[in-house]
Amino acid sequence: MQYDLMKYARQKTWKVFVTFTLCLLCGFSAVVSLSQATQQFTGHVLDFTGAVIPATRVVVHNQATGVDAKTVTTNTGDHTVTYLIPETYDITVSKEGFAVVKKTDILLNVDQISTIDFKLQVVSNTHARSTT
């Protein structure tokens, strides 16, 4: 009878240990998934009059890895680039008919949403000629 009690106690202990370990692992994985950092750049692209510039190309360049993340502004001139790692970036904005604008050495920290706005200047592709 004492042997049966010892066997029962070992089985019960084993089940408690396995249950505790599984709960611990599930809790750890939940904490890890919640701690995934969310870094992103967001902002607006406008001309110097304040009008939005839709369909503008935005390139976010990670200086450390050399990887580019690309997007295009919305109809309201908004841009968002998500799932970035904490690093230093360069952002280049370009649209036909406008001067290219580049902002460099922008540090993005953990869990940071950085708003970077751009104002583009119209450039003329035609040059005035004087005729005589």
pLDDT tens for 44-99 read: 999 999 999 999 999 999 999 999 999 999 999 999 999 999 999 999 999 999 99
Supply φ then ψ for residue 51, to 5 degrees. -75, 140
Is the distance from CB of 89 to CB of 65 less than 8 angstroms?
no
Q: Name the CATH architecture for the domain at 39-120.
A: Sandwich (2.60)
Domain ranges of the chain: 1-36, 39-120
Whether pLDDT at 23 is above 90: no
pTM over 0.75: no
CB atoms within 10 A of CB 71: 16
In this prediction, residue 53 carries a pLDDT of 97
Average pLDDT over residues 30-57: 82
CB distance 45 to 93 below 8 Å: yes
* 99-132 confidence digits (pLDDT tens): 999 999 999 999 999 999 999 999 976 543 333 3
Contacts of 96 (CB under 8 A, 6+ apart): none
